[in-house]
Each structure stands twice: as structure tokens, then as C-alpha cells.
Amino acid sequence: MSGKQNVYEINLDLPDEKLLELSRKIGIGLSLDEMKSVRNYFREQGRNPTDIEIQAIGQAWSEHCCYKSSKSLLKKFIFNIEAPQNIFVIKEDAGVVEFDKDYAYVLALESHNHPSAVEPYGGAATGIGGILRDVVCMGAQPVALIDPIFFGPLDLPYDQLPKGVKHPEFIFRGVVAGIRDYGNRVGIPTVSGSVYFHPGYTGNCLVNVGCVGIIKKDDIIHSRVKELGDIFVMVGGRTGRDGIHGVNFASAELDEESETSSRSAVQVGDPITKEPLIHACLEANTKKLLNGMKDLGGGGLSCVVGEMAHAGGFGAKVNLEKVLLKEKGMKPWEIWVSESQERMMLAVSKANLQTVLDIFDKWDVDAAVIGETISERRVLVYYEGEKIFDMDSEFLTGGPVYARDVKVVKKDQKDVKTQAPKDINDILIKMLSDPNIASKDWVILQYDHTVRGSTSLTPLYGDVVNFSPQDSAIVKPVEELNKGLVISTAVNPFLLEYDPYWGAASAIDEIYRNIVAVGGRPHSLADCLNFGNPEKPERFGDFYQAVMGLNFATKDLKISFSSGNVSLYNESMIGSCPPTPTIVGIGIIDDVEKKVSSNFKKEGNSIYLIGKTEREFGGSLYYRIIGVEGGIAPKMDPQNLINYSNALLSSMEKGIVTSCHDLSEGGLAVAVVEMAFGSDYGAIIDLPLFKDMRADEFIFSESNTRWVVEVKDEKAFESLLNKNNVPYMKIGKVSGRKLEIKQNGSKIIDAPIEKLREKWKNAIWEHMG
């Protein structure tokens, strides 16, 4: 192999420190041990690698592509949870779960954190583009997008901004615009998400993106070649220098220079190329013309060819000069690892090739034949007739696996006695004005959440222009079925920071009750595990505890993680992000007409609280606002979660529950007032005396497994809950236009809904305009 085609031999016969330097210089970020095993491999081959070969290894072995730090834990505690409804989970870009006898839904969740920190608009937009491809490459029609996003505080003074870091407000604005412009243009509704502000995200925002698709079971297609001679057809956008080394960039901490040095990793999304690409891929697939399909994401061609061939039990031969390029003069290795957007790889048998090419031509989408499968399990790359790459696909896709050191820092959690606050009204107002609680309409209304005409419950819903935040969205994906997909997301970084184990378990509790709150039966989960540098034992200790918490909470629920993603190294010079295992949950509702929304419906209806309230204030909004540290983190009991949920669901099926909202941050008080926001009404809440709790503690506690419900038939409701041994308490009624909370006759909260609504509505607008 010579340098004739702009391909160079890389000499690995180097002393150790030079070997490591080489890894850094060519931008692949492999460790010394990894470089050594590369050296050994090529010694056995009796030659040095070419630049394109070593770049390919750099891609395939990055944390992002091969999960080298997290794989062993995930296998043991996340992937092994089983559920009968799963059809095909974990193994490919998206999980496939049964929807009804003919249809399945497809779920994928990913992070796009590092690119968004550097170029928020393009980074977030291409995140949406990537997650759509993950769903399309299973053959599914995307029906909903989900966007949990996390930033530093909006009011961070500019002089406290570390060098090279963009202000949270700038990033927030750009990320939302990127999601909006991409999602709206491709016409897939963004129906669910979350927005968090926490100092730990200042240097490294998190942008997680999820997508749900629907597919006829017969049409499911896999990310692998099927038979010898399958032809690789590359379709969609052209290949350019944008997005080179994206995965390596995603597998390192951000530093001061990231802003300028990582420009080549910035990708630009083109939704108007994507939209017809989706149509064309789905058309070719439903006509049964494809043997396999996979998207080009992290690692580009380099990863996709090797993985598709390897998974099918074959090898591949590629003619690299056939790849359609955006720009002249690209080096072969650049073509091989470029992460340009909007590209897909198809495996097509010779007999179907022309028909497939015709479909892409009809949609004005570029398609190029670039190679074929071979029987030997190797990847061979030719460039204008010359062989420039020849590697064993087992070695290439194998990648290292690590057992990282775990250090668990135990907090001694004790119950704290606090002073009774003087003005509880004021505390509630502070809560509602906290950007983490405040209305997210600045974000949500910029996204089209009704496109496709199948959104039956929108994320904000209520009385035309006044909205209550809903716990889940509902989408009806199949024209001839009334069945709906219930979509929600949950994670509370403040709780996870305080207690990664119970924080993670609480996220599962919250996702479950969010789905149940609208009338859905929880059905499957996806997780995106965003953590700091795994090479630091304490950071990896957080990861370990969170994974154990997820395992504890989920293993008996009969729902499982059908897809997920790990994003490590979310650290900058000012520290790590809080542990953030974002959870997306999917539920099923048999008839979308039976949905339950959170806004109050009718004056005079009774209000009940379901579940048990404990002195659990560790990581709570209440303690943050009154400046108290410590407390006990909320626990959860999976069996209670199931029992309470089942009882609540049957009362909903009987039509006696007219609205429902789960209790999360800010507890009962915030939940009740949010139910009033989307209605014309207020509420009068009258509490009894409690043995071990003051009224303010009761209304702000963040104990898990609780809901507020509005009920129109008290007797039927109570007898159903009694029968199922579910703890509940009648706490008041829908009434007037104020929120009044009393205990034993004396008022502790008394405020017009209109005033509370103003505070809640304006908090984010005051920054973003």
C-alpha cells in the first residue's frame, strides 16, 4: 500500500510515549493500551496500518461507538430486564416493541451533547436528524420526537462564565431553534421533553433527543446484510468534511479550545434533504426491495459498512471513489470517517437494484452503489483500483471493554428539623418562578406538536390559551386503530445529584406515574445515561449507583429498556454535569378518547390525593428555596407503584376521574396549582393535622408514587381504592378562582390563580423575550 492515492502508511514501531502522542496528533484519542493492541494486530499482519485503517479503529473503538466503559454494567443490570411485549430490543439503533397484533412501535433515544455545546443550533438540529434516521432505518415511520434538554442557569453573570464556554442563554436559544427548525421542517411533531437549569450544565449542556416510530410487523428490517453479493447503496446527502471526528470529540472532556479546535466536528443538518429521504427509504422498504438498512451516524461509513457486514456474517468490499462528495480534494480517510448528515446505507440484492435506484431518483435523492458483501469476514477498501484498507471485521468492531474503578461516596442522610416559614404564599410564588418549574411554553409552542394530525393530547393543554402542563403526550399512530402511544420523559438532576441511586429509581417512578396520569399503561422505556468522566472513580461511582437504582426500580415492572444511549465525559473545566439518566417512557392507551388530562374540568368536583406522603426532602425544591441542606431522598416501592397505578387506571376506565396530575417537584401545592392553570377554576384544599409533619412540609414534600385527581363520583372512587388497599385522602374541591390551602381552618396559602399564573408563565420569558 503506497501513498499514491493520498493514503499514507503510519509507522507504529514507536516507543510508548510516541505512540500515545501519535494517537492524539491524528485526533483519534485512543489510550496507550489501545494503541498497543493496534500495534500488535498489525505486527501479526506483518505490516504497518494505513492512515485510513487507523482512523477507522479510532472511530470504532471510541467510547461513543463501543461503550467500552459502560458495556459490562449495562449488560448485567439494564439489558437483562425482560418483558414479553418486546420484539427486538437493544441490539440495533432502535428498540421494537409490540403495539398490536399487526403493528410495532420503534423507540430510540440519544444524546447530542458535545456538538450542541459548541454549535447549539446545528448540534441540536443534527441530533434530531440522527434520531430520525435511527427510527427510519428499522423501516418505521417516525410519529413523535422528544427533547429533554439541560442548561446552566439563565441568570449566570457573564463574568462568571469560564473562558471558551458559551452563556446558557445563548445555548438554550440556539438548541431550541435547532430542534424547532429541523423537527418542524421534516414534519414530525415534537410532543414531549423537559427543560432543566442547573449550574452543573454550564460548561456542558445536555441535548437528548428521542423518537418514536410506527411500523407494520412485516416491514421490520435489520441493520445487516442478508446474503452474499448484497450491494451497498449509499443514499441521501453527500459526504463532506463536516463532522470529522465527531465521535472522538464526544468521547473527551470539553476544554477551552473546543470552541475553535472542534469546528470540523460541527455538522449541519438539512431537513429538506431528509424529508424525501425518509419517504424514499420507507417506500423501498415497504415494497420489500431491501435486505438491510442502517443509518450513517457516529463514525460514518467506517462504522456502518463493518457493522452491517459483520452482523450478517459476511465481509465487505468498498470502492471509495464511488461515494458522492460535497467537495473536491477529500482524502480517502476523510471520506471513510466523515459524519456528514442525512445519509443512509442500504443492502440490496442485484435483482432489486434498479428498482431501488428508480425510487430514489423519483424522490430526487442521490444514490450511489459503493460496494458489495464478500464471504470472507474482512473489510476491504479500494480507492481507484488500489487496495488501501484490509482488516478483519471481528477485530475492527470488537473494541476494548473496561471495568472502571467505582468509588461510591455515601451520604449520611438524616431527617432535618426546620423552622416553620412565615410566608408560605411567598414560597409557592418562588417555586413557580423557578425556571425549572415555570411554564416551558417559550420552548414548547415553538415546536409543531400537532403536525401529522395525530396528536390527541398535547404537552400543554387546557382552556384554549391557558394551559396546564400535561404529564404525557398521546399520539394515535395508526389511522384505523383508536389505540394511542403515551409518551413521556423524566429525570430530576437535583435529586440525582443528591442521591444517584434513589434519584434514578425516582425517575422510573415518575415516568410510570406520568404515563398512568393520562390513562396509559406503561409499556417500555428508553434511557440516555449522561454522566461525567468514567476514568474518575467518583464519577463512575455515580454511574454505577444510578444503574443499580434503575435496575432496582425496573426489574419487577414487566417493562424494560428497549433502547438507550450512554454519554460520558460530560465534563468541562468547571466540573461534571449532575448524574442525568434521562428516561423516556412509552405507554399504551386502548382508546385515545379515554385520555385524562391534568386541567380541572368542573367547579364542585372533589380533589383527592393518592399515595403516601413522607418527610422526604433530600434534593427537593423546597429545601433549595429555603436554603436547607440535607434531608432524606424520596424512596420508592415498585410493588406499590404497580398497585396504585392499576387502581387509578381502573377508576379512569370507569370514567370517574376527570383530571389527574402526578406530584413531582414542589409536591402537592405545585401540582394542584398547575391543574388550575389550564382551567377557569381555582381550588380549596382543607388539610387535617398530621402527626409528624407541618402543613408546609406536607404540601411541598416530594415523595414518590402520588397523584392528585379530580373526581366526579366520590363513592365509586373511594370504594375502588379501598378495595385495592390504596392510600388516599380527600383534600378539597375545585372552586372559585383562587388557590386556598387551609389546615384546620387556618389559611396557609391564599392567592388568586391569575397572579400565580403570571409568575409561572413569565419566568422564562423574562430572560428569553
Partner 1 sequence: MPFGSIWGDSMDRSEIKVCVLRIEGTNNEDEMYYAFKRLGASPELVHLKDLKDIFDYNCLMIPGGFSAGDYVRAGAIFASRIRAKIANDLHRFIDEGWPVGGICNGFQVLVELGVLPGFKRMDYPDACLFLNNSARFECRPTLLKHENKGKCVFTRNIPKGEIMLVPSAHGEGKLLLPREKEQEYFDRLFENDQVVFRYVDKEGEYAGYPWNPNGSAHNIAGICNEAGNVFGMMPHPERAYFDKNKNGISGMNVFESVLKYIEEK
Partner 2 sequence: MKVEIKVGLKEGITDPEGLNIKKSLKLLGFDDVQNVEVKRSYVIEISGKDEKKIREDIDMMCKKLLINPVIHDYEVEMIK
Ligand X SMILES: Nc1ncnc2c1ncn2[C@@H]1O[C@H](COP(=O)(O)OP(=O)(O)O)[C@@H](O)[C@H]1O
Q: Where in the sequence numbering do the catalytic residues fall?
A: 64, 112
Residue 69 and residue 63 in contact, taking contact as beta carbons nearer than 8 Å: yes
**Can residue 310 be called a binding residue for partner 1 (CB under 8 A)?**
no
Q: Which is nearer to Mg ion, 338 or 664 (CB)?
A: 664
The mark string for 475-504 relative to partner 2 (x by CB under 8 A, - otherwise) is ------------------------------
Binding residue positions for Mg(2+)? 110, 134, 295, 565
Q: Which of 719, 700, 716, 599 is nearest to 659 (CA)?
A: 599
**Can residue 342 be called a binding residue for partner 1 (CB under 8 A)?**
no
Sequence-distant (≥ 6) Cβ neighbours of residue 230 within 8 angstroms: 291, 292, 312, 314, 347, 348, 349, 372, 373
Measured CA to CA, the distance from residue 622 to residue 694 in angstroms comes to 13
**Can residue 435 be called a binding residue for partner 2 (CB under 8 A)?**
no
Measured CA to CA, the distance from residue 649 to residue 588 in angstroms comes to 12
Sequence-distant (≥ 6) Cβ neighbours of residue 175 within 8 angstroms: 116, 120, 121, 123, 124, 149, 151, 205, 207
CB atoms within 10 A of CB 433: 18
Q: Which is nearer to ligand X, 434 or 471 (CB)?
A: 471
Residues 91-150 that bind ligand X (CB under 6 A): 147, 149
HSE of 371 in the Cβ direction (CA atoms, 13 Å)? 28
Could you give the residue ranges of the DSSP H alpha helices within 267-423? 271-286, 300-312, 332-337, 353-362, 393-398
**Can residue 669 be called a binding residue for ligand X (CB under 6 A)?**
no
Q: Which of 29, 152, 193, 678 binds ligand X (CB under 6 A)?
A: 193
Q: Which of 91, 167, 452, 615 binds partner 2 (CB under 8 A)?
A: 167
Q: What are phi and psi of 463, to 5 degrees?
A: -105, 75
Stretch of 190-198, 527-535, 566-574, 578-586 contacting ligand X, by CB under 6 A: 190-198
Question: Shortest gap between Cβ of 597 and ligand X (angstroms)?
Answer: 10
Residues 318-337 that bind partner 2 (CB under 8 A): 326
Q: Which of 768, 573, 758, 566 is nearest to 79 (CA)?
A: 566
Residues 421-460 that bind partner 1 (CB under 8 A): 445-456
The DSSP bridge pattern shows strands 728-734 and 657-662 to be unpaired
Query: Hey, CA dihedral for 233, 62, 409, 111, is it positive or negative?
Result: negative
**Can residue 747 be called a binding residue for partner 2 (CB under 8 A)?**
no
User: Residue 120 binds which entry of partner 1, partner 2, Mg ion, none, with Cβ cut-offs from 5 to 8 Å by kind?
Assistant: partner 2
Measured CA to CA, the distance from residue 408 to residue 429 in angstroms comes to 37
**Can residue 611 be called a binding residue for partner 2 (CB under 8 A)?**
no
Binding residue positions for ATP? 67, 527, 564
The mark string for 517-556 relative to partner 2 (x by CB under 8 A, - otherwise) is ----------------------------------------
The three cell numbers locating residue 632: 432524606
**Can residue 729 be called a binding residue for partner 2 (CB under 8 A)?**
no
Stretch of 191-199, 313-321, 649-657, 760-768 contacting ligand X, by CB under 6 A: 191-199
Q: Which of 471, 542, 614, 696 binds ligand X (CB under 6 A)?
A: 471
The three cell numbers locating residue 125: 438540529
- List beta partners, residue 750: 740
Q: Which is nearer to ligand X, 61 or 600 (CB)?
A: 600
**Can residue 659 be called a binding residue for ligand X (CB under 6 A)?**
no
Residue 567 and residue 530 in contact, taking contact as beta carbons nearer than 8 Å: yes
Question: Shortest gap between Cβ of 202 and partner 2 (angstroms)?
Answer: 15
How distant is the alpha carbon of residue 457 from its chain centre?
20
Q: Which of 127, 269, 435, 469 binds ligand X (CB under 6 A)?
A: 469
Q: Tell me the C-alpha to C-alpha distance, in Å, between residue 676 and each of 162, 613, 622.
A: 41, 22, 21
How distant is the alpha carbon of residue 9 from its chain centre?
40
Sequence-distant (≥ 6) Cβ neighbours of residue 170 within 8 angstroms: 120
User: Residue 485 binds which entry of ligand X, partner 2, Mg ion, none, with Cβ cut-offs from 5 to 8 Å by kind?
Assistant: none
| Length in residues, the chain | 769
**Can residue 133 be called a binding residue for partner 1 (CB under 8 A)?**
no
Question: Shortest gap between Cβ of 585 and partner 1 (angstroms)?
Answer: 22
Stretch of 168-176, 343-351, 414-422, 431-439 contacting partner 2, by CB under 8 A: 168-176
The mark string for 234-263 relative to partner 2 (x by CB under 8 A, - otherwise) is ------xxx----------------xx-xx
The three cell numbers locating residue 403: 471495568
Q: Which of 343, 476, 661, 706 binds partner 1 (CB under 8 A)?
A: 476
Which string of DSSP letters, residue by residue, matches 605-655?
-EEEEES------TT-HHHHHHT----PPP---HHHHHHHHHHHHHHHHTT
Q: Which of 83, 89, 73, 74 is nearest to 560 (CA)?
A: 83
How many residues in the shown chain lie near partner 1 by CB under 8 A? 30
Q: Which is nearer to partner 2, 86 or 262 (CB)?
A: 262
Residue 528 and residue 582 in contact, taking contact as beta carbons nearer than 8 Å: yes
Calculated CA dihedral for residues 91, 294, 111, 702, nearest 10 degrees: -50
Q: Which of 69, 141, 208, 273 binds partner 2 (CB under 8 A)?
A: 273
Q: Which is nearer to ligand X, 512 or 569 (CB)?
A: 512
User: Residue 149 binds which entry of Mg ion, ligand X, partner 1, none, with Cβ cut-offs from 5 to 8 Å by kind?
Assistant: ligand X
Contacts with partner 2, residue ranges (CB under 8 A): 118-122, 158, 166-167, 169-170, 173-174, 240-242, 259-260, 262-264, 266, 268-273, 326, 766-769
Interface residues with ligand X (CB under 6 A)?
147, 149, 190, 192-195, 440, 443-444, 447, 459, 469-471, 473, 514, 664
- Residues of this chain that bind partner 1 (CB under 8 A): 180, 184-187, 271-272, 275-276, 362-364, 445-456, 463-465, 476, 479, 592
